[in-house]
Amino acid sequence: MKWLRLTIPTVALVLCACPGAQAQVTIDVAKITCDQFTLYKITDPQNIAIWISGYYHGKRNSTTLDTQALSGILQKVKDYCNLRPQETVMHAVETIVGPPN
């Protein structure tokens, strides 16, 4: 019985001291297909569009953001992707907006 009184608090202390495992997921945006993009298989398409917008603005040394233009481009990319599900999203963006330079 004495052993049990000592064991339970020890086990509880060990379990509380162990940090919870957290998953870390990395995504290669260049490999995201239009199918994955339009069907929300990775995340909300707007999240991907925001990342791509930042990528393009960084390549062009631009720090301005036109949110209405971003919404318009996002819709064009979705329309393009609905017709070509096997294309990559980056290819769709390059077709619509042009290369990042």
Number of domains in the chain: 1
- Residue 14: pLDDT above 80? no
Is 30 a domain residue?
yes
Domain range spanning residue 38?
A: 25-97
Distances (CA, A) of 46 to 11, 20, 38, 53: 45, 30, 10, 10
pTM for this predicted structure: 0.72
Q: What's the token pair of residue 82?
A: 């609905």
- Residue 11: pLDDT above 70? no
Taking a C-beta distance cutoff of 8 angstroms, is the pair 56, 97 a contact? yes
Residue whose tokens read 């000592």? 6
Is 50 a domain residue?
yes
Is 5 a domain residue?
no
Is 6 a domain residue?
no
Across residues 1-12, what is the average pLDDT? 55
- Residue 19: pLDDT above 80? no
pLDDT in tens, 49-78: 999 999 999 999 999 989 999 999 999 999
Q: What is the pLDDT of residue 25?
A: 83
Is 90 a domain residue?
yes
Q: How confident is the model at residue 85 (pLDDT cuts 50, 70, 90)?
A: very high
57: CATH = 1.10.890.10
Q: What percent of the chain has pLDDT over 90?
A: 70
- Residue 79: pLDDT above 80? yes
Is 59 a domain residue?
yes
Is 79 a domain residue?
yes
β strands within the chain, DSSP E: none
Is 14 a domain residue?
no
